[in-house]
Amino acid sequence: MGAYILRRLLLMIPTLVGIMAINFIIIQFAPGGPVERVIAQLQGNDVSATSRISGGGSDFGGTGEAQATPGDVNTSKYRGAQGLDPEFIRQLEVQFGFDKPPLERFLTMLWNYARFDFGESYFRDISILDLIIEKLPVSVSLGLWMMLISYAISIPLGIRKAVREGTPFDVWTSGIIIVAYAIPSFLFAVMLIVFFAGGSFLDWFPLRGLASDNWAQLSWPERIVDYIWHMTLPLVAMALSAFATTTLLTKNSFLEEIRKQYVITARAKGLTDRQVLYGHVFRNAMLIVIAGFPGAFISAFFAGALLIETIFSLDGLGLLGFESVINRDYAVVFATLYIFSLLGLLVNLLSDLMYTWIDPRIDFESREV
């Protein structure tokens, strides 16, 4: 097993390099950039993702260097830089590291990231690592609660559907599950806002944030209630597709085990259906469900959270990533991409290892990666 783990860890290196390289190349051809954003701020044309973004132009604007003279000749390659001092543009390039060739910038970035040196945000006066740590609790809480709720509902429902396969209960619940799976989480989130957050009908839940304005004045029981009140709609929207997927996975896993020979043998020995189900089938059928938990969590944590956090204005990693892309804060974009990719690869390895821990009969060591 040690050799298998070592091979998987070594394979993560070229995988990470490939992920970063592809995205780095895409960024090179993407229009706009941090230099253009500062130029737009100086000219009063900047459009930020949210009002919470602090303008990086304050570090550069308001100086004589940024003011053009009638005799200036514009030699800048940046859109909207007409009339600005070329020396000022050059200082911006040095500030953001764009004075170096792309290959050198990419290799320097990889070397820094390998040492977990992520630098500072372009437009926020804070290190990227501190920024991620600041936003992490919101995304972690969303991911954990979503997984706990979806598993608490999906596993019992999936078992029930497997036991009662072909009955009206199975048919009707399958229809509901298919509809739930087909609805995108972000679209369902908008529907929840329209119907229950003061959109057009009821005004039962808050529209944004994880806490009320008077959070500091609330007692601990009131804070718990307020937290649940704010979390309800985002969690319902996120858990919809995960609930459907986990339910069908549980049902199919139990159906596969129920039809095996050892179940027939157990029943022939006089065991009741409940004893067979929970004494023999449950452990084998839950293997794939339990082993898939890390992957399901990381998927919900990084994929689903982006749109949900943006829609409900939850200040987590998803919203941070969205703001960073919109505001061309490439330092944050690449740092979060690197961290998310590394965590995803580690979680995939953990999922494989969980199979062997739950069922020792599975041996990855005997096959190639």
What is the CATH classification number for the domain harbouring 264?
Answer: 1.10.3720.10
What total number of domains does the chain contain? 2
pLDDT of residue 236: 84
Helix, strand, coil percent content, the chain, rounded in steps of 5: 70, 0, 30
Q: Are residues 160 and 214 in the same domain?
A: yes
End residue of a domain, out of 78, 103, 128 = 128
pLDDT of residue 58: 35
Query: Looking at residue 250, what DSSP letter applies?
Result: H
Short-list 156, 77, 139, CA closest to 339: 139
**Is 363 among the domain residues?**
no
The pLDDT tens digits along the chain (369 residues) read 678 788 888 888 999 999 999 988 888 777 677 767 776 666 666 555 444 433 333 333 333 333 333 334 333 466 555 556 677 677 776 777 777 888 888 998 899 998 888 888 887 878 888 888 888 888 778 877 887 887 888 888 988 898 888 889 989 988 888 888 888 877 888 888 888 887 677 788 887 777 777 877 888 888 888 888 888 888 888 777 677 778 888 888 888 888 888 888 888 888 887 888 887 788 777 777 776 666 666 666 665 567 787 788 788 887 887 888 888 888 888 888 888 888 888 887 887 777 777 666 666 665 554
Q: Are residues 137 and 123 in the same domain?
A: no
End residue of a domain, out of 128, 145, 171 = 128
Q: Are residues 161 and 265 in the same domain?
A: yes
pLDDT of residue 202: 79
**Is 355 among the domain residues?**
no
The total number of residues written for the chain in this structure = 369
**Is 245 among the domain residues?**
yes
Per the rule left: phi > 0, alpha: psi between -120 and 50, beta: everything else, 79 is beta
Q: Are residues 49 and 180 in the same domain?
A: no
Q: Which residues pair with 197 in a beta bridge?
A: 203
pLDDT of residue 279: 78
pLDDT of residue 67: 39
Which own/partner contact pairs does 96-103 have at CB distance under 8 Å and 24+ positions apart? 96/33, 96/34, 96/35, 96/122, 98/33, 98/35, 102/24, 102/28
Find the helix or strand (DSSP H, E) in which 74 lies.
none
Q: Are residues 116 and 186 in the same domain?
A: no
Q: Are residues 137 and 234 in the same domain?
A: yes
**Is 360 among the domain residues?**
no
End residue of a domain, out of 98, 128, 158 = 128
Q: Are residues 153 and 124 in the same domain?
A: no
Residue 368, burial from CB neighbour count under 10 angstroms (0-12, 13-18, 19+): exposed
Residue in this structure with the two tokens 């005997």, named with its chain if needed: 366
Short-list 69, 105, 104, 103, CA closest to 87: 69
Q: Are residues 199 and 273 in the same domain?
A: yes
Q: Are residues 159 and 107 in the same domain?
A: no
Q: Are residues 201 and 117 in the same domain?
A: no
Q: Are residues 120 and 139 in the same domain?
A: no
**Is 247 among the domain residues?**
yes
Short-list 346, 358, 356, 333, CA closest to 23: 333
Q: Are residues 252 and 235 in the same domain?
A: yes
Domain that holds residue 299: 132-326
